[in-house]
Structure 1
Amino acid sequence: MNLLSAENISKNYADRWLFKDLNFGLQQGQRVAFVGINGTGKTTLLRILAGLETPDTGLVSTRKGIRVTYLGQQPVFDESLSVEETIFASQNDTLKAIKEYEHVINDADHKADDLQRVLERMDALNAWDYEAQVQQILGRLGILGELLTRNVSKLSGGQRKRVALARVLIEEPDVLLLDEPTNHLDLSTIEWLENRLSSPTLTLLMVTHDRYFLDKVANEIVELDKGTMYRYQGNYAYFVEKKADREMREATEVEKARNLFRKELEWMRRMPQARGTKQKARIDAFYITKEKASTNLSKQQIELSVKTTRQGGKIIEADHLNKKFGDLTVLDDFSYVFKKKDRIGLVGPNGVGKSTLMNMLTGKLAPDSGTIDVGTNTVFGYYTQTELEFDPSQRVIDIVKEVAEVVELANGDVLTASQFLNLFLFPPAQQYTLVNKLSGGEKRRLQLLRVLIKNPNFLILDEPTNDLDLATLNILEDFLLHFAGCLLIVSHDRYFLDHLAEHLFVLEPGGAVLNFPGNYTDYRDYLEERETEAALEAEEKAAKAARAAAKRAPAPVAAPAPAALAKRRATFAEKKEYEQLEGILAQLETEKQAVTANLNGGSGTPQEFAAWGARLQAVEQALAQKEERWLELAELV
C-alpha cells in the first residue's frame, strides 16, 4: 500500500502544460530519484506532493498518520527565529525535550534546578539515543556553537541549506521529499549524507543531478519526459541504457504509424461512408494512427560551441600568495604557474577559502602579500554560485544583450544573441518572457550562456552543476573535455570532478594547499591509504609499549588480557583483491566440479585420468589458499 499517492494530477504554468493526468505512488522503502530536463516540472511536482502547491486537476493523498517533510532548493524560514528555534520547531515531545536540554547545557549561567529538570525529562522520554543522533547530525552539518544562536536571517545560502537539511533529518518523517539535497554541501558531508539516506527502511523521493549520489541512494529512477512518466528499476547506468532502448522503440513505432497513416489517408480522402461496423472501426483506427504518427521525436539539447580566444605563452603566475581575514588564515604562501590546458579541481571543506582563491586569480580580491601576473591574452570566464541578478522587468534576451549582441562559434560562424539563445534551448517565444518566469535550472543555464558568450580561454566554474539537469550536464562535460583553454573547477559533484579534473588543489584549514596529481576518487583512495598507515603505526607503537612494559615487570605474574587494538582498515589494493577473489573462487569451484565429473564419468585414457587427478589436486590446493586469503581480507573489509 502506498504511503503517498497522486492520482490524475495536472499542472499548467505560464500557458504551458508541465504534465497532465500523472499517477504516482510511493511505498515503504522506495528511494526514488526523479529526473528530467530543466523546465519539465520536477520541482513543481515535488511541491504538489508536499502539499505546498495545488494541482489544476487530480488528488494527492497520504496514508493516515504518515508525516511527509519537504526540503526545497531555497529553504523558507521564519526569519525572526534563531537557528536553534528553527531546527527544533517540531511539535514532537522528544524534540522539545532535547531542545530544552541543549538550551540549558549551552547556557553557562544555567541553574542547577533547571539542569535537574531537563535531565529528568530526557530520562522519562528515553531521549538519550535520539539526542546522540541529533548531535551527530548537527556536528556533521557544522551547526554548532555560536551558529545555533544566530538569527536565520543572517545566514548565507549554504548555511540555510544545511539548517533546513538538519531540520528534516532530525524530524525523522515517514516520507522525505528532497529537491537537490547536495547543493551547497562539501564533499565529505555529501558522502556522510548518502550513507545516512541509503537505509533500506527509508522512504524518499528526490530530485538530484549528482550521479554518484543517485547511484548510492536511489533504488529506482523516475523520468518525466514531455509530460509522461517512465519508471526504471536500477541505477543511473541502467536508466541511460533503458532510456535509449525506449527511444529507439518509440522511433520504430512512430515510423510504422507514419507509413500506415499515408496509406489510410488515401482511403479517408475517398470519403468512405461509415455504414458498416468494419468501416467505423477503420475510421476510428485512422485517428489513433494519425495521433501516433504526429508524435514529435525531436530531442532538444544544448549545443555548446564557442570560439576560444588564443592563449599566449603566459597564462597566470601566482607567486607566494597570502591572505587572512582577521585571525583566520585562508591562504598561506601559495605559488603556481598555470600551463596550457590545465584541468584543475579545487576541493576542501566549506569556508576554507576556495572562493577567495578564485576571486584573487580574477582580480576581484587582492592578496595580503604576493603577486598575480596575468597574461595579456588571458580571457576569464567566471561562473559563480551567486544567482543571476536581473531587474524584474528584464526579459531573457535583455540579459544576453547586456554582454554581447553577437557571438562567434568555434567553426567561425557568427550568431546573433537570439540565435545563440536558441542553441541554449531558449526558443524565440521564450526569449521575450520575463526572467523571473524561468525555473532555477533555466536561470543557471542562462547564466552559463552569459559566461561563454565572452569567448574565454580560462574558465573558472564555481559549482556549475547546481540545478542543471542530467542531459545538460552530460553536454557541458563533453564541451569541457574538448575545451582548448584552462579549467579551474569547484564542484561537489564527484562524477563531474572525476571526469574533468586531472589534478587537484586541496585547500586545508590553515591556508595550506596540496597539489595532488589525480582526480577526486584517486584522492579519496590516497586518504584511505594514509588512514590505514596511521592505524598500523599506532598499532605498532602500542605493541612496542606493551613489550617494554612486560620487560619492566618485576615478576612473571598472570597479565590481564590486553586491550583490543584498533582494527586495521583494508587498503585500496586489498579491497580490489577481495573483490577479485570472489570471482576467482567461483571459477575454481566450477573447474573442480568439471574435473570431478570427468573422473567419475568412467570414460577416458589412462593419460587423461592422470592429468585430471593432478589438476584436481592443484585446484583443491589453490582453493584452500584462496579461501584462507579471502577470509583474512573479509575481516578487514
Structure 2
Amino acid sequence: MNLINLENVFKAYTPQPLLDQVSLGVESGMRIGVVGRNGGGKSTLMSIMARRTEADSGRVTHTGGLRLAYLVQRDEFGDAATVRSIVLGDRAEHEWAADARIRDILAGLLPGIDLEAPLEGMSGGEKRRVALAALLVPESDVIMLDEPTNHLDLEAITWLARHLATRKEALAVVTHDRWFLDEVTDRTWEVVDGRVERYEGGYSAYVLAKAERTRIADSTEAKRQNLMRKELAWLRRGPQARSTKPKFRVDAAQALIADVPPLRDSVELTRFATARLGKTVYELEDVTYHAGPKPIFNHVTWRLGPGDRIGLVGINGSGKTSLLRLLSGTAQPESGKVVRGKTVQLAHLSQELTELDPARRVLESVEEIARRITVGKKEWTAGQLLERLGFGSDAQWKPVGDLSGGERRRLQILRLLMGEPNVMLLDEPTNDLDIETLTELEDILDGWPGTLIVVSHDRYFLERVTDTVHGLLGDGTVRMLTGGVEEYLDRVAAGTAGKPTADRPAEQAAKPAQTATKADWKTQKELDRLERQLDKLSKREAQLHDDMAGAATDHARLLDLDAKLKAVLAEKDEVEMAWLELAEG
C-alpha cells in the first residue's frame, strides 16, 4: 500500500507543463533520489507529493495519519526562535538527553552550537543544520528533503548520509550531490519534459541504466550518450569504485565503457599547460597569514606546477578561501612571499555574483569577453557553450538581472572560461547547479589545459575534476592527502587532523571497504592485500604525474613516463576490479 499516491497529476505555470499526467506512489521503505534540470519540476513534484502545492488536476492522497517530515530549500524561522525551541520544542531535558538517537543528531549536526542561541544572525549553514535537526528528531513515516546538503560542509554531509542510511522511514530527496544520492537512495526518479522516468538503483545505477536505454533506443542525442558513458568510466575507474560498494553490476557496465578513453589526456594537457605557463605557476615561500588572532598559515611553503589539478578540503575556518585570495593577490601574506609566474592568466570564481551587469543580455555578457574559444581540440562559439550549460536560444537573450542564482553561477563560470585563462581558482563552483549542468561543466574542464584549484563541498565533483586532494587541517599547514577525501574525513573523525599519516591509529588509516568486515578471514586478508597494492599504485601514479610536470619540455622523457603511467593505470584497473568482485562476493 502506498503511503503517498499521485494519480494523473498535471501542473503548469507556463504553456510548457512541469508535470503532465504523472502517476506514481511512495511505499514504506522506498528511498528515492529525484533528479533533473533546474526548473524542470523537481521541487514542484516534492511539494505536490507533500500536499504543500495543489495540482492543477489529478489526485494526491496520503494514508491516514501519515507523519511526513518535509525540508524545503529555504529555512524560515520566527524572530524569537532559539535552537532549543526549533529542534527540541517542549521536550524536557531528561527526556531528550536520555534518547541516544536525539543525542546523536545534536552531536552530528549541532556541534559547538548553544541550544539557547537565537537563530537570528546565524549563517545559512547553521540555520540549515538546525532545520535538519528539527526534522530528524521526531519519528516519521516519510522524510522528504529538498536540497538538504546546501550550505553543509563535507563532514556534515557525510554524517547526514550515514544517519539517513540507518532510518527506516521512506525517503525522497532532491539534491545535485551525486555522492550523497548514491549513499542514501536505491531508486531514481528523473523529472524531464513533464514526465517522471523511474530507474532502479542510486545515481551510479541511474547513469548506467540511462546510458543503456539510450543505446538500445539508438538515440540521436549522441553527445548526451557520450557524456554519460564518459562519466560511467569515471565511476568505474575513480575513487567511487573502491570507496563504496557499487550499486550496479560491474560486468554490465564493462560493455558500455570498454572503448571509452581516459577522462583526460594528462600528457597532452601538461604539454599545453607548460607551453602556456612555463615551469613556474605559483610558489608560496615561508608564508604566514592570520585571520584576526588565529594563524591560518604558519610558514607554509607550497608549489603549484603547470597542469596541476588540485582539490582543497578543510575544516571551517581553516583558510581555503584565504588561500585562494593569497593566490589571486586580493590578500597579502604577513611574512614570506607568493611568487606568481610571469605568464599566469588567472580566473578566480569567488562565491560572490556582484560583477555581472544586470542590464546586459546573457549572450552579450559572454561575447563581451570573447565570441569563440578553443577547448581541447575543438572550437566553440559563445552561443554553443551557453547551450551546453543550459541556456537555450531564448534564454540567451534574457537580461542578466532576470536570472536565478544558479543561472548567474553558470554565466559567471562561462565568462571565466571565455577569457581563456591558464590558471583557474574555483570557490564552490557547484552551488545551485543541477546534475546535467555539472556533467557538462566536468566535460568542458576535462579538455581545459591549465592549473586548476577547486574548493567544494561536492565530493563527487571534487574527485571527478581534480587529480589530487590537499588538506587544510587547522594546523597552519597545507598537505597533500594521498587517500583523498576519505583520508580527510578519517582524520577529522579521529581527531588526528594535522598529524602525519604515520601518527594515525592503524584502524583509522585503513582504507575503504566496510563490506569486508562481513567476509571470512581469508577474504578479509585478500582485501587488505589488494588495498595495500592500490595504495602503492596510487602513490606511484602521483609520482609519475609530478615527474611528467617536471619534464614537460623533454619530449623523449615524457613518452617514457607516459608509457609507465599507462602501465600503472592498467594494473590499478585490474586491482580495482579484483577488489570490487571480491567485495561484492
TM-score (structure 1 length as normaliser): 0.66
Deviation of 1:205 after TM superposition, in Å, equals 0.7
The 1:215–1:368 alpha-carbon spacing in structure 2 relative to 1, beyond 3 Å, is same
Partner residue in 1 for 2:58: 58
Aligned-partner SS, 1:13: coil
Distance 1:21 1:488 in 2: 45
Deviation of 1:135 after TM superposition, in Å, equals 4.1
Task: Point out where structure 2 has 5 or more consecutive residues left out of the alignment.
Answer: 228-262, 527-585
Partner residue in 2 for 1:354: 320
The 1:456–1:47 alpha-carbon spacing in structure 2 relative to 1, beyond 3 Å, is farther
C-alpha contact (below 8 Å) 1:497/1:519 kept by paired residues: no
Partner residue in 1 for 2:431: 466
Partner residue in 1 for 2:472: 507
Partner residue in 2 for 1:620: none
Q: Which amino acid counterpart does residue 95 of structure 1 have in structure 2?
A: G
Partner residue in 1 for 2:332: 366
C-alpha contact (below 8 Å) 2:516/2:523 kept by paired residues: no
Once the two structures are superposed, residues 202-261 of structure 1 have per-residue CA deviations (whole angstroms, 9 ceiling, x without a partner) of 221111232322122102111123222121222333222221222234448xxxxxxxxx
C-alpha contact (below 8 Å) 1:40/1:226 kept by paired residues: yes
Deviation of 1:319 after TM superposition, in Å, equals 1.8
Distance 2:102 2:515 in 1: 35
Q: Which amino acid counterpart does residue 96 of structure 1 have in structure 2?
A: D
Partner residue in 1 for 2:98: 129
Distance 2:116 2:347 in 1: 37
Question: Among 351, 366, 370, which residue is 1:385 paired with?
Answer: 351
Partner residue in 2 for 1:140: 108
Question: Among 327, 330, 352, which residue is 2:296 paired with?
Answer: 330
Distance 1:388 1:518 in 2: 37
Partner residue in 2 for 1:22: 22
Q: Which amino acid counterpart does residue 208 of structure 1 have in structure 2?
A: T
Question: Among 187, 197, 212, which residue is 1:245 paired with?
Answer: 212
Aligned-partner SS, 1:428: coil
Question: Among 77, 82, 90, which residue is 1:96 paired with?
Answer: 90
C-alpha contact (below 8 Å) 1:457/1:485 kept by paired residues: yes
Number of corresponding residues:
480
Deviation of 1:345 after TM superposition, in Å, equals 1.5
Q: Which amino acid counterpart does residue 58 of structure 2 have in structure 1?
A: G
Deviation of 1:362 after TM superposition, in Å, equals 0.9
Deviation of 1:527 after TM superposition, in Å, equals 7.9
Partner residue in 2 for 1:446: 411
Which range moves more in the overlay, 466-475 or 383-392? 383-392
C-alpha contact (below 8 Å) 1:38/1:442 kept by paired residues: no
Which range moves more in the overlay, 167-176 or 217-226? 167-176
Deviation of 1:498 after TM superposition, in Å, equals 2.9
The 1:299–1:64 alpha-carbon spacing in structure 2 relative to 1, beyond 3 Å, is farther
C-alpha contact (below 8 Å) 2:84/2:115 kept by paired residues: no
Partner residue in 1 for 2:397: 432
The 1:470–1:537 alpha-carbon spacing in structure 2 relative to 1, beyond 3 Å, is closer
The 1:412–1:497 alpha-carbon spacing in structure 2 relative to 1, beyond 3 Å, is closer
Aligned-partner SS, 1:198: helix
The answer to whether the aligner puts 1:201 opposite 2:172 as a matched pair is: no
Q: Which amino acid counterpart does residue 46 of structure 1 have in structure 2?
A: M
C-alpha contact (below 8 Å) 1:31/1:205 kept by paired residues: yes
Whose radius of gyration is greater, 1 or 2?
Answer: 1
Task: Report the RMSD for the aligned CA atoms in angstroms.
Answer: 4.0
Deviation of 1:195 after TM superposition, in Å, equals 0.9
Partner residue in 2 for 1:400: 366
C-alpha contact (below 8 Å) 1:82/1:148 kept by paired residues: no
Aligned-partner SS, 2:3: strand
Distance 2:420 2:104 in 1: 46
Partner residue in 1 for 2:71: 71
Distance 2:417 2:382 in 1: 12
Distance 1:446 1:574 in 2: 40
Partner residue in 2 for 1:342: 308
C-alpha contact (below 8 Å) 1:353/1:507 kept by paired residues: yes
Mapping for residues 546-561 of structure 1, pairs under 5 Å: none
C-alpha contact (below 8 Å) 1:178/1:206 kept by paired residues: yes
Deviation of 1:20 after TM superposition, in Å, equals 0.9
Distance 1:212 1:73 in 2: 19
C-alpha contact (below 8 Å) 1:392/1:436 kept by paired residues: yes
Once the two structures are superposed, residues 133-153 of structure 1 have per-residue CA deviations (whole angstroms, 9 ceiling, x without a partner) of 44432332245345852443x
Deviation of 1:351 after TM superposition, in Å, equals 2.5
The 1:190–1:150 alpha-carbon spacing in structure 2 relative to 1, beyond 3 Å, is same
Distance 1:172 1:387 in 2: 40
Aligned-partner SS, 1:160: helix
Aligned-partner SS, 2:12: strand
C-alpha contact (below 8 Å) 2:119/2:127 kept by paired residues: no
Percent of pairs with identical residues: 35
Deviation of 1:41 after TM superposition, in Å, equals 1.7
C-alpha contact (below 8 Å) 2:375/2:447 kept by paired residues: no
Deviation of 1:508 after TM superposition, in Å, equals 1.8
Distance 1:229 1:196 in 2: 28
Q: Which amino acid counterpart does residue 324 of structure 2 have in structure 1?
A: M
C-alpha contact (below 8 Å) 1:7/1:58 kept by paired residues: yes
Aligned-partner SS, 1:168: helix
C-alpha contact (below 8 Å) 1:388/1:447 kept by paired residues: no
Task: Point out where structure 1 has 5 or more consecutive residues left out of the alignment.
Answer: 89-93, 102-121, 253-295, 540-566, 588-637
TM-score (structure 2 length as normaliser): 0.71
Mapping for residues 146-545 of structure 1, pairs under 5 Å: 148-152=116-120, 154-199=121-166, 201-251=168-218, 310-386=276-352, 395-401=361-367, 404-410=369-375, 417-435=382-400, 438=403, 441-521=406-486
Partner residue in 2 for 1:281: none
